[in-house]
């Protein structure tokens, strides 16, 4: 394999010394970039873009051409697994992802396809291999998946939901059915992430987008337990290098001590959690990733710089911090404001690593 020229991101996830705080952005390849919109139009549809390895590679690399990010993230979608299971993913204009079929009974569960990631999601692995080749060791590549609970939410609801009424009703009233679904998904996600790592992903992130919608007890039972199961199945290293895992539960800041014990090397936090409090809660058990409010990018460059300075000061000195937004970048952001954001992290963070 090509030697990695910039391993700052991987070192930070493992709480090793770095010269400055590494940075990447969730959804850094996306609609805020005019070049992304042009490629998306060229592809014909969002799913066609995901399934074309060359175009998925192109949009993955686009933000790296503009900004000195310390990692690339695979361009794909969290709902690839439910689609492969046979639910029929499609995107409704203005409404987001939808499924033609749902899982609301044992019969629905039994009707799902049996899948093997390397075969049934081969287009994702082709994209990973293509991106790794084109990156040529410049920065690491992050693979990812949705968490079992988040995938189940879409599969039961049939798409996005404001109150998650159907999926919560199943969890609370039919826990055996829910656990059967989550168990199936945990095995599928573990297989999927292992296949991405085999194809060349150098770190992986589990997006638990809807974990924060649960109560504390339900979160541990229906979300955290299954992410822990996935992480236990991931390879600890490939070609002599560790493959770190990041768990990101949106709205999960109140459960940080429990999340820190799930086996992941890093925990992502959203903007509702104070980063100094987060570091105090997890100690030196895991690295932290985050956590500027994505809406801050609508502010002036000067204000963005102030916020970056505040978050860096909040985390304080020493290793174990990856700078990121607290969720994905908003499509309407001015790309020049991202430049201000990245520049601020690069210029202000070295002082926090002088003694690493």
Annotated binding-site positions for substrate: 27-31, 77, 154, 209, 327
- Provide CB contacts within 8 A for 210, sequence distance 6+: 149, 150, 153, 164, 250
Given a contact cutoff of 8 angstroms between Cβ atoms, the answer to whether 189 and 155 are in contact is no
Query: Can you tell me which residue has the tokens 């194809």?
Result: 199
The single residue of 8, 15, 40, 279 carrying the catalytic annotation is 40
In the set 77, 83, 208, 293, the catalytic residue is 77
Residue of 27, 66, 129, 166 marked catalytic? 27
Indicate the angle between helix axes 165-173 and 148-157, nearest 10 degrees: 110
Which residue positions form the known binding site? 27-31, 77, 154, 209, 327
Active site residue 31: yes
In the residue annotation, 133 being an active-site residue is answered as no
Q: Are 22 and 71 in contact (CB under 8 A)?
A: yes
Asked if 163 is an active-site residue, the reply is: no
Angle at 96 between CA 91 and CA 97, to 5 degrees: 55
Catalytic residue, candidates 36, 154, 315, 352 = 154
Catalytic choice (31, 37, 166, 241): 31
E strands, 94-200, are: 96-99, 141-146
Of 116, 326, 289, the closest CA to residue 204 belongs to 289
Q: How far apart are CA 230 and CA 94, in angstroms?
A: 33
Q: DSSP secondary structure string, 55-98?
A: HHHHHHHHHHHHS--S-EE----TTHHHIIIII-EEEETTTEEE
Q: Which whole-number Å values give the CA distances from 189 to 139, 175, 186, 230, 287, in the listed order? A: 24, 20, 5, 7, 23
Judge residue 149's burial from the number of C-beta atoms within 10 Å of its C-beta, 0-12 exposed, 13-18 middle, 19 or more buried.
buried
How many CB atoms lie under 10 A from the CB of residue 72? 26
Catalytic residues: 27, 31, 40, 77, 154
């Amino acid at each position: 394999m090509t030697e990695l020229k910039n391993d700052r991101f991987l070192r930070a996830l493992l709480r090793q010394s770095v010269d400055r705080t590494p940075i990447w952005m969730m959804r850094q390849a996306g609609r805020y970039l005019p070049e992304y919109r042009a490629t998306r139009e060229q592809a014909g549809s969002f799913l066609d873009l995901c399934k074309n390895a060359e175009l998925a590679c192109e949009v993955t690399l686009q933000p790296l051409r503009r900004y000195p990010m310390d990692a690339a993230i695979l361009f794909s979608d969290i709902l690839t697994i439910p689609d492969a299971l046979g639910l029929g993913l499609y995107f409704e204009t203005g409404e987001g992802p939808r499924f033609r079929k749902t899982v609301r009974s044992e019969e629905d569960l039994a009707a799902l396809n049996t899948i093997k990631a390397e075969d049934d999601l081969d287009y994702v692995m082709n994209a990973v291999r293509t991106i790794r080749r084109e990156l040529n060791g410049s920065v690491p590549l992050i693979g990812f998946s949705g968490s079992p609970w988040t995938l189940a939410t879409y599969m039961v609801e049939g798409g996005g939901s404001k109150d998650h009424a159907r999926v919560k009703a199943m969890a609370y009233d039919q826990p055996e059915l829910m656990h059967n679904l989550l168990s199936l998904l945990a095995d599928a996600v573990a297989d999927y992430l292992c296949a991405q790592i085999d194809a060349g992903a150098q770190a992986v992130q589990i997006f638990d987008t809807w974990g924060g919608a649960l109560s504390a007890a339900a979160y541990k039972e229906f979300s955290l337990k299954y992410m822990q199961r996935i992480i236990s199945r991931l390879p600890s290293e490939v070609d002599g290098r560790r493959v770190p895992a990041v768990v990101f539960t949106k709205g999960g800041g109140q459960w940080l001590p429990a999340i820190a014990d799930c086996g992941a090397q890093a925990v992502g936090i959203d903007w509702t959690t104070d980063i100094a409090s987060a570091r105090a809660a997890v100690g030196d058990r895991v690295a932290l990733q985050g956590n500027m409010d994505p809406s801050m990018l609508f502010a002036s460059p000067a204000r963005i710089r102030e916020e970056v300075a505040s978050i860096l000061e909040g985390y304080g000195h020493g290793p174990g911090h990856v700078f990121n937004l607290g969720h994905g970048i908003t499509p309407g952001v001015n790309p020049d404001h991202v430049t201000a954001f990245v520049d601020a992290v690069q210029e202000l963070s070295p002082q926090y690593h002088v003694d690493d």
